[in-house]
Amino acid sequence: MEQEKNVVQLLKSTPSTVAVSVNGWVRSFRSNRFIALNDGSTIKNIQCVVDFENFKETLLKKITVGAAIKVTGLLVESQGSGQQVEIQVSKIEILGEANPEEVKLTILQPKRHTLEKLREQAHLRIRTNTMSAVMRTRSKLAFAVHQYFQENGFYYMNTPIITGSDAEGAGEMFHVTSLDLKNPPLDENGEIDYKQDFFGKETNLTVSGQLEGETYAMGLGKIYTFGPTFRAENSNTSRHLAEFWMIEPEMAFYNLAQNMDLAEDFIKYVVNYALENCEDDLEFLENRLLQEEKAKPQNERSEMSLREKLSFITENNFKRVSYTEAIEILKNSKPNKKKKFKYLIEDWGADLQSEHERFLVEKHFKCPVILFDYPASIKAFYMRLNDDGKTVRAMDVLFPGIGEIVGGSQREERYDVLKEKIAAMGIDEKELWWYLDLRKFGTCVHSGFGLGFERLVQFVTGMTNIRDVIPYPRFPGHAEF
């Protein structure tokens, strides 16, 4: 009886006299003799050598690019270069055919395709080297996220996806309703009567699980959420998605400094996990990036390779800089003085854009940066007000290439101050009665942060567009598949 294995196991095995079998998809079939087979378990293919005289021509004709087959034979030392072992085929089973004429019209055709082309056939793009490398890495990173928090005494919590509260106070939310949109019920003022809706009130898809996360941190101590979040902002950029995954830890008894320590330690852990567990995929993605960069002018090319960039993150301390200090640096910077920034920095209080964040990280400090103590006016209502009355205990972690990767803060634990801030921002206090309630029953210093998982995957894989690090991207005008 043959041993059934996957490609990654076979490539790590030594030649044997016991027959092996493997299922996979044909990547290429050369000279009616050499099948390159891949099953998604690794970026590498296994070479299967066919003695075509021993097989019917009708069978060989069905071994086409994209076809699913089962191969049985002996694992032997490879005669050719490029692989240590190969399968000497004794039996081939066609599991699913692929018409060569139809394959020519798809991205399964073995040639270089643009990432835009891959997005148009998102249901097939996982069969390409680039996407399979990205998605295996994404899977490993997701596992590392859970492992880090579980090892550090955090409890995993699932916050609601349908919510009545707007955690960010930004208002860019997707509405959830079961009402007939062509003929909704109206109240006496002619407004839509949400009392007749499914939940008896207006509801939306969540923009963040933070507020509910805080309630659980106040009983379990340390929690984290890792789930989908939704933003209805019309951002058609390479950095934004309408549906993405967020990692949000919340910790009771943590101040801002401890929050920054945790964010730095967490990022280093997951990046290091990828370096140790995604070696083949990162090597492939690094080479892909080098090829891509050859087309750029010298001054736009990255100084470091992908894995050097990742090691740089794990081996260097993140620079901690106050917002006030950062504004001074930006104000006096060359691009600001020469009006090279799209958004010029003139005064304290300016909301930093991606170009400013990247300047601080890539040009000025040349390392990851944590900015803290932002102006209260540009930050959310739940952040703790500092004694100066004008800044809050917020922090953002900035990375090379992408700018902000983490946003967090010490939360406002004082009932009266929080009540004032909610009122000042025009938020209905009745909507957040339960959130205010937390500050009445054993309130304490507590902190947390949010990390957009796709931005982390983007950084680790070196992909330049966030739409290429999630299986089926959702962005303005696009909800295919």
C-alpha 69/C-alpha 55 separation (Å) is 15
Lowest-confidence pick of 35-44, 128-137, 297-306, 337-346: 297-306
Order across the sheet with 319-322: list the strands: 155-156, 222-230, 243-252, 446-452, 403-410, 391-399, 369-375, 319-322
Does the structure show a pLDDT above 80 at 234? yes
Whether 142 maps to a domain, the answer reads yes
Lowest-confidence pick of 16-25, 259-268, 299-308, 347-356: 299-308
Structural contact between residues 282 and 289, judged by C-beta atoms closer than 8 angstroms = no
Nearest to 449 by CA among 226, 282, 273: 226
Q: How confident is the model at residue 169 (pLDDT cuts 50, 70, 90)?
A: low
pLDDT for 449 equals 98
State the average pLDDT over residues 12-40: 96
Q: How confident is the model at residue 250 (pLDDT cuts 50, 70, 90)?
A: very high
Q: Is residue 98 located within the same domain as residue 134?
A: no
Q: Is residue 36 located within the same domain as residue 149?
A: no
**Number of domains forming the structure of the chain:** 2
pLDDT for 240 equals 87
Q: Is residue 83 located within the same domain as residue 140?
A: no
Q: Is residue 295 located within the same domain as residue 160?
A: yes
Does the structure show a pLDDT above 60 at 107? yes
Q: Is residue 69 located within the same domain as residue 162?
A: no
pLDDT for 170 equals 56
Q: Is residue 154 located within the same domain as residue 271?
A: yes
pLDDT for 89 equals 97
CATH number of 57's domain: 2.40.50.140
Structural contact between residues 84 and 434, judged by C-beta atoms closer than 8 angstroms = no
Does the structure show a pLDDT above 60 at 155? yes
pLDDT in tens, 29-38: 999 999 999 9
Q: What percent of the chain has pLDDT over 70?
A: 99
**Tokens representing residue 270 in the block:** 């997951």
Q: How confident is the model at residue 127 (pLDDT cuts 50, 70, 90)?
A: very high
Which range of residues forms the domain containing residue 461? 129-172+207-468
One-letter-per-residue 3-state SS of the chain:
CCEECCHHHHHCCCCCCCCEEEEEEEEEEECCCEEEEECCCCCCCEEEECCHHHCCHHHHCCCCCCCEEEEEEEEEECCCCCCCEEEEEEEEEEEECCCHHHHCCCCCCCCCCCHHHHHHCCCCHHHCHHHHHHHHHHHHHHHHHHHHHHHCCCEECCCCCEECCCCCCCCCCCEECCCCCCCCCECCCCCECHHHCCCCCCEEECCCCHHHHHHHHHHHCEEEEEEEEECCCCCCCCCCCCEEEEEEEEEECCCHHHHHHHHHHHHHHHHHHHHHHCHHHHHHHHHHHHHHHHCCCHHHCCCCCHHHHHHHHHHCCCEEEEHHHHHHHHHCCHHHHCCCCCCCCCCCCCCCCHHHHHHHHHHHHCCCEEEEEEEHHHCCCCECECCCCCEEEEEEEEECCCEEEEEEEEECCCHHHHHHHHHHCCCCHHHHHHHHHCCCCCCCCEEEEEEEHHHHHHHHHCCCCHHHCCCCCCECCECCC
Does the structure show a pLDDT above 70 at 49? yes
Q: Is residue 241 located within the same domain as residue 357?
A: yes
Whether 211 maps to a domain, the answer reads yes
Whether 112 maps to a domain, the answer reads no
pLDDT for 46 equals 97
Q: Is residue 377 located within the same domain as residue 310?
A: yes
Does the structure show a pLDDT above 90 at 172? no
Residue 349: left (phi > 0), alpha (psi -120 to 50), or beta?
left
Q: Is residue 38 located within the same domain as residue 160?
A: no
Whether 189 maps to a domain, the answer reads no
Whether 188 maps to a domain, the answer reads no
Is the Cα dihedral 225, 222, 274, 13 positive or negative? negative
CATH number of 232's domain: 3.30.930.10
**Tokens representing residue 80 in the block:** 């050719």
Lowest-confidence pick of 52-61, 172-181, 296-305, 368-377: 296-305
Does the structure show a pLDDT above 90 at 229? yes
pLDDT for 166 equals 61
C-alpha 421/C-alpha 379 separation (Å) is 11
Does the structure show a pLDDT above 80 at 446? yes
pLDDT for 150 equals 98
Whether 473 maps to a domain, the answer reads no
Does the structure show a pLDDT above 80 at 255? yes
Q: How confident is the model at residue 403 (pLDDT cuts 50, 70, 90)?
A: confident
Q: Is residue 285 located within the same domain as residue 424?
A: yes
Lowest-confidence pick of 75-89, 156-170, 253-267: 156-170
Residue environment code for 27-60, b if the CB has 16+ CB neighbours within 10 A, otherwise e: bebeeeeebbbbbebbbbbbbbbbeeeebeeeee
Whether 214 maps to a domain, the answer reads yes
Q: Is residue 102 located within the same domain as residue 151?
A: no
Lowest-confidence pick of 17-26, 74-83, 117-126: 74-83
**Tokens representing residue 470 in the block:** 């999630």
As a whole number, the mean pLDDT across the chain is: 94
Does the structure show a pLDDT above 70 at 167? no
pLDDT in tens, 423-437: 998 888 888 999 999
Residue 232: CB atoms within 10 Å:
16
Q: Is residue 20 located within the same domain as residue 160?
A: no
Whether 388 maps to a domain, the answer reads yes
pLDDT for 427 equals 86
**Tokens representing residue 168 in the block:** 């960010």
